[in-house]
Amino acid sequence: MLADPETCARLILVRHPEIDDPERGQAIGVGDATLSRRGMQQTVEVIRTLANLTIDEVHASPARHCLDAATAIARDRGLDAVPSESLRGQNLGSWEGKAWTELHADSEALVREFFGAYGAFAPPGGETLSDAVDRALGYWSEIVERLEGKSVVFVAAAPLLGGLAARMLGLGLGRAPALNLAPAAVGILDVFRDGAAVRTWHPNALRDDLP
């Protein structure tokens, strides 16, 4: 079990659990999706994973698939989940809600650039991942002063969480895919005034008995 933080704030990053079809195959940036039955089971497993850790606050993207999981985590601790627009995923503009197969067929070159220029490409009418991560970092800067010695959970989409972790660790956004979290996976950072350190990253990846 991790000792409670003292000279740092502990940031527990939780990717939203698995979402249901057809949204699972769609470009879901700032929009809502519904947790699948497996995703609801994964939420329970996240609560078990975090059972021995102190949690002082739970913040989340207001997107339904994130906030539903955050609410369950918070309720288990007698807390209220705090939704923040700053934790929404990357705005995918005109791609929002469209199937990735459709986007590949209609806009192959743009989709290739989206993934090739990771973090730096904005879909038509949308924003770059870099902009979304800056938004989340700004939110962290607003709340961090009161969080020393506390542990806070962020529940959001994988690209935003990976980008946030990369920036806090002093890495370029291009390294963020290496910090990708699977659905319902957990990553824990201890964030100091002059940087951050990884305490654990997706420990459940070592288990084969999960939903």
Determine the 3-state secondary structure of 196 from DSSP: strand
* pLDDT surpassing 90 at residue 2: no
What pLDDT sits at residue 193? 87
H or E segment and range at residue 159: helix 158-168
Inter-CA distances, 146 with 2, 9, 83, 162, 163, Å: 21, 9, 18, 24, 23
* pLDDT surpassing 90 at residue 16: yes
Average pLDDT, the chain: 95
Write down the domain spans for the chain: 9-90+127-206
CATH 3.50.50.60 fits 9-90+127-206, yes or no: no
Tokens of 181: 């979290």
Place of tokens 């935003």: 160
What pLDDT sits at residue 39? 97
What pLDDT sits at residue 194? 87
* pLDDT surpassing 80 at residue 57: yes
What pLDDT sits at residue 1? 58
Q: Taking residues 83-97, what's their average pLDDT?
A: 98
Tell which wins on pLDDT, 208 or 120.
120
Please, are residues 188 and 201 in contact by the beta-carbon 8 Å criterion? yes
pTM for this model (two decimals): 0.95
* pLDDT surpassing 90 at residue 175: yes
Please, are residues 58 and 153 in contact by the beta-carbon 8 Å criterion? yes
What pLDDT sits at residue 89? 97
Q: Taking residues 103-114, what's their average pLDDT?
A: 96
Tokens of 173: 């956004």
State percent of the chain over pLDDT 70. Answer: 100
State percent of the chain over pLDDT 90. Answer: 90
Helices (H), 29-157: 37-49, 64-76, 100-106, 108-116, 129-143
Residue-wise pLDDT tens digits, 20-46: 999 999 999 999 999 999 999 999 999
